[in-house]
Amino acid sequence: MILILFILEFFCGSLMFSYWIGLALGKNLKTVGDGNPGAFNLWRSAGYQWGLVGVALDFLKGYLPLVFLIQKGYVSGMEVALVAIAPILGHAFSPFMRMHGGKAIAVTFGVWSAVSGFQLSLVYAIILAILLIVFKLINKSTGKETDAVMVVGGMFFLGLYIFFCAYSPHLLILCFLNMGILFFTHRKELTDFFTHRVAH
């Protein structure tokens, strides 16, 4: 049963709404910016209105199926971690994109909203806001490399928050699985960030 739910959640996550909206608008997101077929490149290429649509759809594909499964009691405890990571994996490794998906940020927020009733997604957003302020104070500007550090580092700090606030262990497991995926999807930007720091 859990394997079936995992596959269904993976399929939901693999639906590349932003990329398909871009194609419908005559925009190939793989040729925009860093080639990420997600909502933020849709924003850049088609404007903030369509970008917000993409963000909302990516969020909802992580949120709606999962919150339904949890509320109906189809998954609980450690099963939640196994099923909840599936839409994030699906977005990052979409079979519709030959296993090359997006950064998985919006779907991450959807998943955390589902598993915690929006509590931990709000904490993650606050952590990212704090990191943004810190980076702006240090560097005076931010770019995709610092964004990557904030996204991955923010998930690490969310893990610390989950641990010290004594949330259920399955949420800590989900957090570090999520961090691993975000690390992979942002690996180029992270490499550029730390290479630049070492060079200077």
Q: Give me the pLDDT at residue 28, please.
A: 85
Query: In the numeric block, which tokens belong to residue 119?
Result: 């509590």
Per-residue pLDDT, averaged over 27-39, amounts to 80
Q: Is the dihedral of CA 31, 33, 34, 38 positive or negative?
A: negative
Is the pLDDT at 194 greater than 60, yes or no?
yes
* Contact residues for 123 (Cβ-Cβ < 8 A; gap 6+): 158, 161
pLDDT digits 0-9 by tens, 169-182: 999 999 999 999 99
- Give the global pTM: 0.91
Q: Where is average pLDDT lowest: 35-44, 81-90, 190-199?
A: 190-199
Q: How many residues does the chain have?
A: 200
pLDDT per residue as tens digits for the range 102-152: 899 999 999 999 999 999 999 999 999 999 999 888 875 568 888 999 999
Q: Is 23 exposed, middle or buried (0-12, 13-18, 19+ CB in 10 A)?
A: middle
pLDDT of residue 18 exceeding 60: yes
Q: What is the CA radius of gyration of the chain?
A: 17
Confidence of residue 9 (pLDDT cuts 50, 70, 90): very high
Residue 40 is predicted with a pLDDT of 82
pLDDT reported for residue 136:
85
Q: What is the mean pLDDT of the chain?
A: 91
Instruction: Tell me the domain boundaries of the chain.
Output: 2-199
Q: Is 174 exposed, middle or buried (0-12, 13-18, 19+ CB in 10 A)?
A: buried
Per the model's pLDDT, the better-predicted residue between 104 and 47 turns out to be 104
Which H, E and C letters describe 144-160, residue by residue?
HHHHHHHHHHHHHHHHH
pLDDT of 198 = 57
